[in-house]
Structure 1
Amino acid sequence: MRLRSIIGTTAFLAAMYFCAGIYVLRFHLEPLLVPRADAPTLPSIPPLQSIGGHEETLLVRRYGVPRVGCVLFFPGQHGSIPGYDTQLFPAFTGHGIAVLAVAYPGQDGAPGALDLKQMRALGMRTLAAASAICGEHRVIVYGRSLGSMVAAYSVASHQPAGLILEGTTPSLASAIRLRLRVHWYLAPLAALPVSTLLAHDFSLKEALSQTPLKQAVAFQGTADSETPLSALRITPGLEKLRIVEVRGGTHSTTYRLAEHQMVEMAESMLR
């Protein structure tokens, strides 16, 4: 009887564990993907434009003067524009390429909360606004980490000068699986059919198949364990995407190591 009770309790707890994982993946993913972040210091540049409504708003801030063109920048899940404005943006603005930096709902002064169902439409509207500022063919869309997926989908209805992805992943499901495996207490959840549990599994293959854009480049660090280079290499359907290996680049250092290359790529796309 005691053994039967232990087995029954263990089975019940395991079922509850997996049910909780299924519920979060299906209905409560947004707060984990893009957590609210009240930065200790907001960006010093005031918002140039807001996209969306009160419940979900993207803010766009401009850095530099668009003498050559513009880069529309979608950051990773934690935003942190105040860090990029000193580490990354000067590399572009110093070459006459203005940076239009996006802040997600709930981050860097943007009100509201993220709704994945609205993110694709908001990304397209943001690109339309950038095109109105700089000219459609003078805009390069740049997305890093989670922002690379938003960037890839935003170009579906427009034809910017090019698309630069950095620290990207083949799909939302593949990124989630990898994150789950990193933590021992979450690793069993990676066995779930993540792609079918998500309300929509955003993927580079789907995004790039919807655009006639010809210049799409991904800068991927060889030491990136969060979005591994190998995952891109083995994913079919990414023939449009040129992959540039960044030697020694981790998920947090690739953009610094590839800064010069990315600026050169942007200048080439704008010619």
Structure 2
Amino acid sequence: MKIDIYFILTIAVTVILILGLLIYFFQHKFFFQPEKLAPDFKFAYDNLKAEEKTVETEPGAKINYLHFLVDHPKGVVIYLKGNTKSIKGWGKFAIDFTRLGYEVIMMDYRGFGKSTGKRTVEAMKRDSQFIYDIAKKEYSEDKIIVYGRSLGSGFAARLAAKNNPRMLILTSPLYSLLRTIHRYLPFMPAKPFLRYNIPTFHYLKNVLCPIKIIHGSDDNLVPIKTAIDLSEINPKLTRLYVILGAGHINIHQFEEYHRVMEEIFEERKVFIDMDKTSMNESHRKN
């Protein structure tokens, strides 16, 4: 029985095209899982003081955000959240920074919470920069820390690359949405069909501030290898923290995560005289 190679190629191309069209038209449902809030919804959190604000970043687009306040702030954290729900639920994570003396600005992406406007990657980039510029009116950049979690890591990395914040912190970061698709569809040439690529790895090349990456060792959604690969892009400025046993959505439930956060924000600078260490020693030497 002869194998018709042209028939097989036709079937393969057809399957790829069908999958490509599905990726193109439905990727927004996979990458973004928003929760919408009524315009009169009132935010309320225990042990947190927050002001709700809404700004028009461009005609037809209004971005809703929360500004969590502290007395005598040391600086501000711009928090770029993950791809689910709204700042209604994400707001409780602000306590991880307010307890350290930092205010927090947390925005909802377009179509999330009370934010409006057509959602595209370029529009979301503009929105995050708009919020950063608002923070700059109140804080000098050496007081601004950019934090991105999961999907928000790409937007956070871009902000750090385009501006001069004090520090960039990425928790459970994505390498890129393209790599995410390739993980599940390794045979699929997805790039031509991708509308929402956010290349965290690309932005990290141009970041000039310290980069801190926090990742769970048991993250099954975004494997730890992703964090290792990202840490090697700009190694002189990057430090990787691995939270043993932590997954993707529960990393904040590990005590070590909060110990790491304290270490990062305290920024203890220790001088080490490398001439008095084993750094230049080799096992091959006598």
TM-score normalized by the length of structure 2: 0.76
Secondary structure in 2 aligned to 1:190?
Answer: coil
RMSD: 3.0
The residue identity in structure 1 corresponding to 2:30 is L
Could you say if the C-alpha distance between residues 167 and 51 of structure 1 is closer, same or farther in structure 2, counting changes exceeding 3 Å?
farther
Structure 2 counterparts to residues 237-248 of structure 1, below 5 A: 237-239=233-235, 240-248=237-245
Select between 258-267 and 72-81 the one with higher mean Cα deviation.
258-267
Partners of 2:207 and 2:156 in 1: CA distance = 12
Contact residue 120 and residue 196 of structure 2 kept, 8 A: no
Q: Check if 1:254 corresponds to 2:260.
A: no
Once the two structures are superposed, residues 178-221 of structure 1 have per-residue CA deviations (whole angstroms, 9 ceiling, x without a partner) of 3xx2xxxxxxx4311224542574323310222322x1111000
The residue identity in structure 2 corresponding to 1:34 is F
* Matched residue, 1:148: 153
Partners of 1:152 and 1:59 in 2: CA distance = 21
- Candidates 128, 151, 155, aligned match of 1:123: 128
Partners of 2:202 and 2:63 in 1: CA distance = 23
* Matched residue, 2:219: 224
Contact residue 172 and residue 214 of structure 2 kept, 8 A: yes
- Candidates 17, 20, 23, aligned match of 2:21: 23
Once the two structures are superposed, residues 5-30 of structure 1 have per-residue CA deviations (whole angstroms, 9 ceiling, x without a partner) of xxx8x998865543232124445533
Contact residue 91 and residue 260 of structure 1 kept, 8 A: no
Secondary structure in 1 aligned to 2:248?
Answer: coil
Could you say if the C-alpha distance between residues 91 and 35 of structure 1 is closer, same or farther in structure 2, counting changes exceeding 3 Å?
closer
Runs of at least 4 residues off by over 4 Å = 10-17, 39-42
- Candidates 17, 24, 30, aligned match of 1:32: 30
Structure 2 counterparts to residues 1-271 of structure 1, below 5 A: 17-26=15-24, 29-39=27-37, 43-44=43-44, 45=50, 47-50=52-55, 52-65=57-70, 67-86=73-92, 88-178=93-183, 181=184, 189-199=185-195, 201-213=197-209, 215-234=210-229, 237-239=233-235, 240-257=237-254, 258-268=257-267
Uncovered stretches (5+) of structure 2, i.e. residues with no partner: 1-6, 45-49, 269-286
Larger radius of gyration between Structure 1 and Structure 2: 2
Partners of 1:264 and 1:196 in 2: CA distance = 42
Secondary structure in 2 aligned to 1:29?
Answer: helix
Partners of 1:23 and 1:259 in 2: CA distance = 42
Contact residue 225 and residue 251 of structure 1 kept, 8 A: yes
Partners of 2:198 and 2:87 in 1: CA distance = 24
